[in-house]
Amino acid sequence: MRRWLQAARAAWPGRGLAGLAVLAGTLAALGQEPFGLWWVALPGYALLVWLVANRRGAGWLALIGGAAHFALALNWITEPFLVDAAAYAWMIPFAVVFLSFGLALFWMAAAMVATRLPRPALAFALTLTAAEMLRGHVLTGFPWALPGHIWFHAPVIQTASLFGGYGLTLLTLLAAAGLSRLRIVPMAGAALLVAAAWGLGIRDLSQPDPAPRDVTLRLIQPNAEQALKWDPALAQTHFDLLMRLTAEGPLRDLTIWPETALPYSLDLHPEIFGMIGGVGHNAPVAIGAQRMDGDLAWNSLTVIAPDGAEAARYDKAHLVPFGEYIPAGDVMFRLFGVRAFASQAGAGYSAGPGPRVVDLGQKLGKVLPLICYEAVFPQDVRAAPDRADWMLQITNDAWFGSLTGPFQHAALARLRAIEMGLPLVRVGNTGVTAVYDARGRTIASLPFQTEGALDVTLPGARPPTPYARFGETPVLVLLAGLSLALIRPRHRRVA
């Protein structure tokens, strides 16, 4: 232990370089939503690559820079603890430190590997891309605030249809590595790489759009404050609002409520099926609700037919750790009263069987349901057994405040639309409630944190994109090829 501490102390880069790492991470985070300052973020990543490539304290600098990046980009992590501040606010410092430095460990590992390879700037671009891919899968994964997510306000984002968010991350870090060299040729190469992606994006946006489907949707945004959402005294008020917004307005083919919108359990109040089915203008109503069976509970999307029958159901499969379930949650609940934040039943939710496509009939077509957090994971979207006609995300982002979290979450849903070439309908309790076309463009939306309903025509789908067909395979092949070229020994000619 003493030897390890001595080695760590000897590798410490000093306060000056550590301060530059904080600056680099902060600048990089400003590329994330809602800031979207890619022209600030890209130099931030370049500064971090430059610090790591100099090898002095590279692991420490990547850890510090990564922690600064995640602390700013994921500042919304404090919001759930403030819903019931008296009970949970004391956890905020621990959550911020644990999450920021925990995620930054992936960056630290990438830097430590890169500095043992030739051309450490290029090596760090490759190892950090690989580390971010691992971050998206390890321990259920958390692919949020990737370097490739800085391009939402530029045509570059359209290249996600070719190689997804991880491909955008590789592109971003290769450009940053070129800028970090501070020499004309590599900097020009970085500029050409971004320009090529920019041009591909413009070209894609100029192509004809698919014809919209002959489907009208009504999206309901009740804007229920999270601290009051589960107050039994207000349950009837919340339910009446949902029913009124559903009953109002013109004819439609489907009405959609957000995640856990229903303030009652459907299993305990079966009469609600008929009540909801009767106000949908002779069209089905899709609602987010908790479902219970004995001691088990699920976070579900239920489609209710006009006659009150259950037409379809989807149980959320990819749950939020500590938000919707806690490891050994039943024991923790019995011993300490600790429960997942989002669940109102027992210690947490049970997971559904996995991604699936729900057939809603010839007119509405086949839909891929995504409940809240599930839209963050490209691997889950691609894991659906069939290709859908459109995607539907219901969510309750009231947990995550009004500054950054809801807008980052909505941007990731947009990215899934671009990757898959499918329109995505997003219905949030407080927002963002919007419809994105198959290129991720906003077709219509409701103002954030307002009560209301949105009537919209469903956009059409594109043919399967290269990413929809091949997933991460091209990025993995490219990473492997560049890595082999990097470590291949150079043979000198013998005169």
Q: Residues with catalytic annotation?
A: 259, 316, 372
* Identity of the residue numbered 301: L
Quick one: 193 exposed, middle or buried, by C-beta within 10 A (0-12, 13-18, 19+)? middle
440 and 164 in contact (C-beta within 8 Å)?
no
HSE value, Cβ hemisphere, 13 Å, CA-based, for 249: 25
Closest to 259 in 3D by CA, of 395, 460, 154, 90: 395
d(CA 399, CA 86): 16
